[in-house]
Structure 1
Amino acid sequence: MALKDLNDRQAVLRALEEYDKLGRVAFLRTYGFGTADEYVLAHEGRYYDSKAIAGVAHLFQTGELLTNSEFQGGRRGAVPRLTAMRFEIVSQRRGSFVLLWNPTLWHWDEERRLAIQQCILAGGTGSEPWSTGSRKKDISKGDRIFLFLVGQKERGLVASGHAASDIYLDTHWAADHPEPGPHISVAWDRLLDAPEVLPWEIIERTVPGFPNRYQGGGARLDGLQTLTLDALWQEHANEVSLAALGDPTRAEVVASYSYAIVKRRNHQQQFRNLLLGAYEPKCAVCGFDQVEILEAAHVIPDSQGGPSSLENGRLMCPNHHRAHDAGLFRFQGDLPMWAEAASEFLAPERPQDRNSS
């Protein structure tokens, strides 16, 4: 009895049906598996703990369950076996963190909030320091961040981004609190208005193990919860954006402007989230690590049918992304190979780099 015996795609599909029927918690408890540390099986818009699926699929194919201790997950076990049967595997080792915003306790300057929204609409990110609540460690640069609106009628997911710093101490958000509190800088990539939140009740029904409420900020979501919530959130945010296009109160039309139908890559934000969740947050060429401006680049271009996958994706700074798109270099494995007519260049040296040399 070994994992190599598993080769029946229909057995895997039966395991996925069993997972859907029981729910994540009951499925893992029934068959004795833990949650996936990194690799998640993606199928028809849903995500599954890959090792548990492989073990239960072995039961459906052979009549014998492969227990958690009898085989490996990851790239040396369940991942290549499931990939060989044409199932998509997604890496999400970083997980994500939940932060809270209660407008009755802390006022977000409206001018600043609107400026961040405008920056995002222009295709960038807007940075802002934010309290991590009771969490004083473990959030690192590049981690996925979800901001929930609480304390009022609209309760749900209102913004998302990535940590642009590790945790640091700063003035507590509560003016009467004498001690500094833990904070991070967040590079926001989506920010909605309060009436547009993704309702908490929908998230609670959809994301496995998501609670009815959080008592404070800083709670961690695992990889499968992160991917499920992110997919739900991106769909909701795109619907809000499309609805705004038909709302004449949301934008001023200036006579000197002309308008055209454009092709917009709605999947690009999700592709960037995927890469930031799996790779160290830095440019694959020069190592520049400013999360706010890192971009998701396709090794085989999107225009040529290149998939938005981990294997075909690299994080790059804008300069090297443009250089790659212009054909100045190509990747050979993880190494950039520059064209003969191109000049290799790195990121500009920063003052702190010069001071340390």
Structure 2
Amino acid sequence: MTSWIVKIGKGTPQHWDFARDDGFWDVRQPGFFRRIEPGDDIYFWLSGTGLLSRVRATSALYELTPGSRSAHWIDRDDGGYTHRFDFETISEVPQRSLTWGELKREHGRNYAAQAPANEIDGPVAESHLRSLFDNRSDIAFASLPLPDDTQLEYSPGYTHGDDLRERAKREIAARRGQRRFRQSLLVAYEHSCAVTGSNVESVLEAAHIDRYFGDHSNHVTNGILLRADLHTLFDLQMWTVTDLLTIEVSPMLKRSEYASFDGRPLRVPANPRQRPDRAALGRHRKACQWTTQNA
């Protein structure tokens, strides 16, 4: 196996977010990319910034066809993309930053700064790159399909009908550690709470719709960006979302300041692929026993 550094242009930093969420990288000139094989480690580098992520190729380079899944590149309308390779993200947590010059000196290699890809030659250089990343997963899975009901029923630690409230109390303290999940929701919801519209980023949190049962729960459609208090109340089943994407507040909150949110439309992302999963919302609503009592 070989390792690679793939460059992202300084003018299109969003391309890493798109690539991470889609799970693939498109190229215009195959060149060195033709030598990428499944299992190769690839390090994305943003020009002018440094290392962004470590991923692992899950396919060799292949040619795009009219039936290939659409990408979200900023410059996609310019055309010219001809090939693609798929990958899985390993880490987005660089342990330290370094310049291109420092990288060349530490590896003793004259890597080409303008090249779209540089092959990393030698086990010492490969080991050095791996050491620059935390291997703990902290990833938002935006292209992985959400599990269906049967899969969820047998997922470890996840059973339909469980009382979410006790679990929610344990998770409230830990949720801010889900860094990439939160970041993906900040982007999707344009840094604003889906209920209040608040744009005070320090109080915005990533709320899971289906409860967290592992990294694969961190799918952008399994989340809503919420102000911290509304996140807590959502986890505690004190409000939910209807089939019409409006907010329904528990009778226990009807005499509180939260009563004003009842019937308010939920703000959803402009991108349909980032909107809350309707089936997951239905499961949350069903878990709120007061909705059945009110029916």
TM-score band, normalised by shorter chain: 0.3 to 0.5
**What TM-score, normalized to structure 2?**
0.37
**What TM-score, normalized to structure 1?**
0.31
